[in-house]
Structures are given as C-alpha cells and as structure tokens.
Chain A
Amino acid sequence: GQNIDQPTEMTATEGAIVQINCTYQTSGFNGLFWYQQHAGEAPTFLSYNVLDGLEEKGRFSSFLSRSKGYSYLLLKELQMKDSASYLCAVRDDNQGGKLIFGQGTELSVKP
C-alpha cells in the first residue's frame, strides 16, 4: 500500500526558516512533488525530486532521501504570503504513475 505523512499544521515567524517534513511508504516510488496551495485556490507546483539530495529554487529548497522514504521542504526568509498549505505528493509507478497526495501542512506565518 501507500502512506504519506506530513504534519497537519505549523507556525513560524516572518523572516525565519521553516522545514516541513514528509515521510512516505510506497512500493513504486518514482519522484516526489511539493505543491503550495493558498486558501480557496488551486495547488501550484513548487519542486520535484527524484534523486537523493537537495534541490534549491530561490527561497525554497526540497530534499529527498529515497532509502529513508523522507523529504522536506525548506522555506527561508519567510514572508507573510508564504502562509498556505503545503502538499507532498509521491508518484507511484506501481499504480500507473499516479500521484498520491499527503493531507497537506497548513503553515501560518506570524509577524
């Protein structure tokens, strides 16, 4: 089967750094995606990891360890507009390449 876990909610301060973790168990892993979703809006793509290591994109970085079934999304220099839900999704090739989504982590950035 498959299982994706991420914290339900987190709070951080403007200007700080926050790390959102995601653990997964899936038999046909072939890539992990992070999406950002503001309230009432569609998810927007942030990052993609398929090999172990860190992918950096401006203030956002994403890390993957396939042996540990673990990823994190790192947000630096937090801004108020970063308050959103962050969705971790895993592609499972044993299910035709479908994306399996976690429940999302609701991040609140406080002044």
Chain B
Amino acid sequence: DVKVTQSSRYLVKRTGEKVFLECVQDMDHENMFWYRQDPGLGLRLIYFSYDVKMKEKGDIPEGYSVSREKKERFSLILESASTNQTSMYLCASSVDRIETQYFGPGTRLLVL
C-alpha cells in the first residue's frame, strides 16, 4: 500500500509565524505535490517536485516555499503566515508524471 503521511492533522498558528508542513512518502515516488483545498475552490496546486532538490511553482505559489532535500520528504513552508492561508493542506505523491497521485491525510491549518 502507498503510504503518504503528513506531520500534523490539525495546526493552529498566529499571523506572522513561520510554519512548516512536512510530508513523507514511503514508496520511492519521484513526484510530490502540495495542494490546498478550500470550499468552493476545490484543490489548487501550490508547488510540486519531480526530483530531489527540484521544485516547480503551481497555480498559487505566493506566500509559500518548499524544500525537497530527500526523495521521500517534501516540506511546505509558510514564511509569514496570514489569515488567508487558513485552509486544508494536502500532500500527494506519484511514481512519475503519468501515474496516479496518492494523497496524505491532510493538515487543517488555522491562522489566527
């Protein structure tokens, strides 16, 4: 079974804090993705990575950065959290660009 894990299910942070969301997959997948999901807007791609130390901007990268130092780990960083970054954050991974993406359980972030 593919296993994608995320460091926290729920997180509460204050405006201006630096926030780290961690994602780990144990299937040696090349590709990893960060999405956010908001009511009425669906899933939107923030950043993705097709290889170690490689990153590409998705559709809504502003206010976020990522790090992929190891193949199995993809971190999403909010440099200075803002209230409009309150959302459900979902990490996903896939074997390659063609194959199915598998999602982690999600992190529900509240920024006060």
Contact = CB atoms under 8 A, between A and B. Distances in A.
Contacts of B4: 42
Interface residues of B, number: 21
25 contacts: A31-B98, A33-B100, A35-B103, A40-B106, A42-B4, A42-B103, A42-B104, A42-B105, A43-B43, A43-B90, A43-B103, A44-B103, A45-B100, A45-B101, A45-B102, A48-B100, A87-B42, A97-B97, A98-B58, A99-B101, A101-B43, A101-B44, A102-B42, A103-B42, A104-B42
Bin chain A's interface residue count.
20 to 34
Contacts of B100: 33, 45, 48
B98 A98 contact: no
Q: Is the interface of A mostly helix, strand, loop or mixed?
A: strand
A96 B45 CA distance: 12
B48 interface: yes
A97 B106 contact: no
B56 to A, nearest CB: 7
A58 B42 CA distance: 27
Nearest to A102: B42
Question: Max chain A CB contacts within 10 Å: which of B40, B100, B104?
Answer: B100
Contacts of B105: 41-42
Nearest to A89: B43
Given A45-B100, A97-B97, A97-B98, A87 B106 contact: no
B90 A42 contact: yes
A103 B48 contact: no
Interface string A31-52: 1010100001111110010000
Contacts of B98: 31, 97
